[in-house]
Structure 1
Amino acid sequence: MSNAVKGAARQAPPLPTPGPQRPVRVLSFSQRLSKWDVKVSPYLYVSPFFIVFAVVGAFPLVYTAVISFMDWDQIRQSGEFIGFDQYAWILTQPAFWVALRNTFSIFLLSSVPQLILALFLAAVLDRNLRAKTFWRMGVLLPYVVAPVAVGLIFNALFADNSGQVNAWLGMIGIGPIPWHVEPFWSHVAIATMVNYRWIGYNALILLAAMQAIPRDYYEAATVDGAGAVRQFWSITLPSLKPTFIFVIITSTIGGLQIFEEPRMFDQFGQGGSANQWLTITLYLYNLGWGDWNFGRAAAMAWLLFLIILVIGLVNLFVTQSLVGDDGGKGPKLSRAQKRQLKRDAAARRARRKELYR
């Protein structure tokens, strides 16, 4: 062996001696159960909603879809497949088009004033009022009243001859209005019932969105000399656009499904002697439980579903285009800009404190 090889052998470090091997860790049953709990428990927490939806939501949709293509016998729970004959029959009925016209008329007469008044009421409740909780609970009381009770009360108020509304109108020289005869006036009366019930509910939703707007914006606008009206149009209304989209869509869905108010507008519940206030849902009810034809009623339900879907999508696209790409939230600020905004607001508060000392 050469001297170089011997020197390298002497300089090489000794090989490490193998130590005792680490024992393999065996998970106990409780540890496995805890691991499964972390993975499975989130799905268990949300499963009740999907189970209830499958029973009361998805199953009726599929069930009515099948029945709508059949000449269904509810007593025997069987039927004969007839394709789109039920849909064709409904579309050829004049009562369907009258009900569609009445539904859209009542929807427009109720939803547009409802949203405007709800926005105004939310702006009033957002001010520094005394007994805020009392007023906020008060506007919600009509919503918790039973629709049947509201229908009975308003049916008496809008009576053609002895109604209190006609008595009030007579004091200012307006003759008695035939609320139960003329289609337009019956729609106005029913829309009044709808607005009475839902204005407070929508106002509280908009109020919650107003409460989430940073108050620094209003303080800066006040220092800059902007009044209450200017602040509402420049700060409040743009910040409410995402919530306003939600309120518009839900109001659209509820307005097209109106049933209790026209049902209780007279003692017969058939939509008037000449279908003056017959709505789609009331027509559906008459087909199913009046004519005992559940195939046509199921087809009517799916037509209503398609109408609501189309109107809802149109509403969504229109409102999103009005809001813009930023979702109505305004331009995004960097962290430095946000910190500077907070420092400016703190400096304004400090200056106000100095002025009031």
Structure 2
Amino acid sequence: MKLISILPPLSKIIPFVKPETNKPLHAGEIYFLWEGLTSGYGFVSIAETYLMNTEDSEVHLLLEALVKGTYMKRIAPLERILKEEGFTVPPRPASKVLQGKPGVGQEVKLSDEEVINNLIAWGQVTLNQNAKAVGAITRESVRKAFTNLLFDDMKGYDTIMDLAISRQSFMPPPPATAKDNSLNIDEVARLWEEIHLRHISVINLSIYLSNTKDKELIKLLRRALHEVALPQLNQLEIILKNEGFTVPTRPVDRLQQGPSGQMSKINLSDEEVLRVLMSAAQISIMYHVRAYCVAMRKDMKNLFRNITSTETEEYQKLIQLTTQRHTLDNPPVVTSRRG
């Protein structure tokens, strides 16, 4: 088990980028920064409590690596951003590892299996919170910080899950079929859900393509349809077919049903199309991360991690276009700076 892989390279902790000249962060961005920071404090307190509650050396190594990684990857970067915006950050939690010997930290003991399962639950909450933050934040440098957190936390979550599976302390859902190494019923449910999401993406992207004559928007929509939605749909279908399931019928091709800009009786403006795409991308990222959290097989974890990565990359391009066109409906800006 390579615990050191949880820690990011130095370039991710101290990115060398040109300074941004931006307005103050909006209220949603500050909320997720504050929530991300205080949840990091909470995790450190819980992890150190668990550390003092077990004498298992392997669990010790895992918890120590997670605490160190949380300080380096989550707490320090988020504290820095908030301070740069003029906010006073709360004090860091007092260390619990100085309060006694490991294994005697509480009168009421948790078993090692309970510690591991609690870490899994906390990891799932953190990953889903990261996904929401990626969708809500519009300043590029702050969104990148949370994007890095999302994928770094996935590595930590994988390490926890590997330990849980090796010790059989995590009870997965029942297998979906009788074949060896079958997907479990939760994985199949997430695949089915993802297929329907991609169906909706294909339908909407096709309609939006037929609803606009804007060359820049057409380029973005075509890439989303032909380089993201359809290839991902193909991947999802292949996995389910290999497991012996019949996949639902794909949506009909709407691109040949009429000339561009004349598809719908009620046309959407290009700005409305962009806003709908923004909302759809935000929801998709959260669904992908939720699917990743329940995946047990390595190929399934890799699939949902890659889908999440592609979705966040496309979302970045979408944000850039909406920013250029001033179509973002951001909450009010907030700041603690004087003057």
Shorter-chain TM range is under 0.3
Please tell me whether Structure 1 or Structure 2 has the larger radius of gyration of its CA atoms: 1
Give the structure with the larger helix fraction.
Answer: 1
Q: TM-score, normalised by structure 1?
A: 0.23
